[in-house]
C-alpha cells in the first residue's frame, strides 16, 4: 500500500476554469472521471479528493488560494500526510513548451511558473516531481493575458488530447515511478502523416523551462 499526492495548479472561479493557466485542474478532472473519488472535501485551503488504485491511495489536490499562493495548500497536505517529496507530483502549465508538449521532471527550478515557485519557497527545496503541459508562448508577448485566456478554437482539440496524455502520465508515475513515466511521455509524440515536425531550426534547441 502506498499514498501519492497529486496537485493540479490553477485559479478558483468559473471565469478561470477553461483558461491556459488551469490545465493542472483539467488534468485532475480527467483523472477524477477515470477514478471516481471515494471522498471529497475542502481541506488545506483546497479541494481534496481521495481515489483508490488497487490498494494504493491517490490524493488529488486543487489549491483554492490562487496560483501565486499554491504552496500553502501543498505544504499543509504534504506535512499532514507525512509524505516524502518523491510522493508528490505537481501538474501545471508551461508557456515555454510547445502547445500540448509534456515535460516530466523529478526536480528542478520553477522556470517562471508562479505556482511552482511558491511551492518551492514554502517547502524550502525543489526536489519534487512536476509535470508541465505546454501552452505555447504568447504571440504578442503579453504573458498574463495569454495564461489567463481561453484556448483558441484550433487549440482545443490538441489540448484535449494532451490533457488525456497528461492524465495517463500521472497514472504511470503513480504506479511505475518517475523514470518509467519520463521515458514514456517526455519524447514528443509523432506528428500525423504529412504534418511538419515540431523541431527547432538547425543550430538551435527547443526552449526549456528548467
Predicted confidence (pLDDT) per residue in 52-91, tens digit? 999 999 999 999 999 999 999 999 999 999 999 999 999 9
Q: CA separation (Å) from 198 to 76, 95, 108, 137, 140?
A: 40, 16, 24, 14, 21
pLDDT for position 139: 84
Q: How far apart are CA 124 and CA 131, in angstroms?
A: 19
At 208, the pLDDT band (50, 70, 90 cuts) reads very low
pLDDT for position 201: 35
Above 80 in pLDDT, residue 141?
no
Find the helix or strand (DSSP H, E) in which 58 lies: strand 56-63
| In the block, residue with C-alpha cell 509523432 | 190
- Of residues 210 and 48, more confidence is placed in 48
Domains in the chain with CATH codes: 3-185 (3.40.50.1470)
Give the residue-averaged pLDDT of 153-169.
Answer: 97
Contact in structure between 77 and 5 (CB atoms under 8 Å) = yes
Give the residue-averaged pLDDT of 134-162.
Answer: 93
Q: How far apart are CA 54 and CA 2, in angstroms?
A: 10
pLDDT for position 197: 56
Q: How far apart are CA 77 and CA 41, in angstroms?
A: 13
* Residues tagged active-site: 21
What is the rounded radius of gyration, in angstroms, for the C-alpha atoms of the chain? 16
pLDDT for position 150: 95
- Of residues 81 and 199, more confidence is placed in 81
- Of residues 204 and 38, more confidence is placed in 38
Q: What is the mean pLDDT of the chain?
A: 92
pLDDT for position 1: 87
Amino acid at each position: 500500500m502506498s499514498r501519492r499526492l497529486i496537485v493540479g495548479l490553477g485559479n478558483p472561479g468559473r471565469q478561470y476554469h477553461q483558461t491556459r493557466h488551469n490545465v493542472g485542474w483539467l488534468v485532475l478532472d480527467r483523472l477524477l472521471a477515470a477514478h471516481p473519488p471515494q471522498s471529497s472535501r475542502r481541506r488545506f485551503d483546497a479541494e481534496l479528493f481521495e481515489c483508490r488504485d488497487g490498494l494504493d491511495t491517490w490524493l488529488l489536490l486543487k489549491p483554492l488560494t490562487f496560483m501565486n499562493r499554491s504552496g500553502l495548500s501543498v505544504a499543509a497536505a504534504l506535512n499532514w500526510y507525512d509524505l516524502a517529496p518523491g510522493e508528490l507530483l505537481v501538474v501545471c502549465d508551461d508557456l515555454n513548451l510547445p502547445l500540448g508538449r509534456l515535460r516530466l521532471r523529478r526536480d528542478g527550478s520553477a522556470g517562471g511558473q508562479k505556482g511552482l515557485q511558491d511551492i518551492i519557497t514554502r517547502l524550502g527545496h525543489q526536489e519534487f516531481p512536476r509535470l508541465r503541459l505546454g501552452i505555447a508562448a504568447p504571440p504578442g508577448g503579453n504573458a498574463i493575458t495569454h495564461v489567463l485566456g481561453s484556448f483558441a478554437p484550433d487549440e482545443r482539440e490538441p489540448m484535449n488530447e494532451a490533457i488525456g496524455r497528461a492524465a495517463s502520465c500521472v497514472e504511470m508515475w503513480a504506479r511505475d515511478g518517475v523514470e518509467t513515466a519520463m521515458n514514456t511521455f517526455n519524447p514528443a509524440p509523432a506528428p500525423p502523416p504529412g504534418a511538419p515536425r515540431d523541431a527547432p531550426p538547425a543550430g538551435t534547441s527547443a526552449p526549456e523551462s528548467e
